[in-house]
Chain A
Amino acid sequence: MFFIIYLILNIKIVKHLIFIIFLLFGNITLGVSQKYFTKTGRISFYSDTPLEKIEAHNKSSNCVLDLSTGKLEFGVLIKGFQFEKALMQEHFNENYMESSKFPKATFKGQIDQFSKIDVTKNGKNIVKVSGELTIHGVTKNVSTDAVLEVINGKMNADAVFNILVADYNISIPSLVKDQIAKSVKVKVDTTLDLLK
């Protein structure tokens, strides 16, 4: 009789223990893999010269931010950039970016002192991001200031920086060299959701 009661109690304790372990373990894995991401990030670039203003926009760039490390990754499809003029888009893809050979541009970087940011609290944080930017098959180190704004569990990640066309082995024919800026402004404008 006592033996049976003892057994039942024991099973209950074990069940509780399993539950507690699961809870702890579950929380730990959740903490490690928590990420912010988007598939609809907006990346634009602007080439301003006295002769011509050119801009193009991409609405479907990927971005992943790892909350435990502050590692940040972007991916964007070159052919997804939309220009106002079809001819510019054609030249951009076929002559300058060779987008059939190099369909993607990527950025892999790190947010400086990310651990100091409280991502559970609403607010604006100005951070420094540095990492490797790959365009046209050429990888260069870049760094820029960025704004991370937490709004009710979402995060806006915005940045503006300039890149030199010549850095990425993109040759511009001399005929149009006055129409295309040597330094192109890149604007990143994304809203990240928590990945579940």
Chain B
Amino acid sequence: MKKVFPYIFILALAGIAIGYYMYNKPHNETKNTNSDVIITPADLLKAFEADESAANVAYLDKIVEVEGNVKSINILEKGISLSLDAGSEMSSIICEFESADALAGVKTGDKVKVKGFCTGYLTDIVLVRCSI
């Protein structure tokens, strides 16, 4: 019986370590991750306008990469976001960045390539945790 104790102890320690790691596991990042989908802003908007539930199945939680012109830059309380022109007056692709430094040097009208997790469609399509 005495021989088993060290093993139980090691197992318990490993369990605590795994639990602690899981609790603190980092967010998935988009920066060094391959995109799941590469699409133009206009096609992405069209997909959601045509059939929102089908587009939800196809794009939600996926890393979507879009390349387009910056329509506007919005400075937020925490972080920053930009709107990419999707060929529509009302709708665009909103890309949220966690840190305001992410868009240093980017101006309205610039052509940029952005990837982020697609969260869905309100009047705009929103990508979060973006990288450029």
Contact = CB atoms under 8 A, between A and B. Distances in A.
Interface of A: 39-40, 42, 57, 59-62, 75-80, 82, 85-87, 89, 99-100, 103-104, 189
B76 A59 contact: yes
Contact of B120 (A57, A85, A104, A189): A104
Nearest to B92: A39
Interface of B: 22-28, 56, 60-61, 74, 76-79, 81, 83, 94, 96, 98, 117, 119-124, 126, 128-129
Most chain B CB within 10 A, of A39, A62, A79, A87, is at A39
A79 B61 contact: yes
A79 B23 contact: no
Contacts of A59: 76-79, 81, 96
A75 B94 CA distance: 14
Task: Classify the interface of chain A: helix, strand, loop or mixed.
Answer: strand
A100 B31 CA distance: 24
Given A60-B124, A80-B128, A87-B25, 19 more contacts: A39-B122, A40-B74, A42-B77, A59-B77, A59-B78, A60-B96, A60-B128, A62-B124, A79-B61, A79-B120, A80-B96, A80-B126, A82-B129, A85-B23, A100-B56, A100-B60, A103-B56, A103-B60, A104-B120
A82 B128 contact: yes
A42 B76 contact: yes
B121 to A, nearest CB: 8
A79 B117 contact: yes
B119 A80 contact: yes
Contacts of B122: 39, 60-62, 75-77, 104
24 contacts: A39-B83, A39-B124, A40-B74, A40-B76, A59-B96, A60-B81, A60-B96, A60-B126, A60-B128, A61-B122, A75-B123, A77-B119, A77-B122, A78-B120, A79-B61, A79-B117, A82-B98, A85-B24, A86-B25, A86-B26, A86-B27, A103-B60, A103-B120, A189-B77
Contacts of A77: 119-122, 126
Most chain B CB within 10 A, of A60, A61, A76, is at A60
Contacts of B28: 86
A103 B119 CA distance: 8
Contact of B94 (A42, A60, A78): A60
A87 B24 CA distance: 7
Contacts of A60: 81, 94, 96, 122, 124, 126, 128
Contacts of A82: 98, 128-129
Closest 3 CB pairs of A and B: A79-B119, A80-B119, A103-B120
A62 B94 CA distance: 12
Contact of B60 (A61, A79, A189): A79
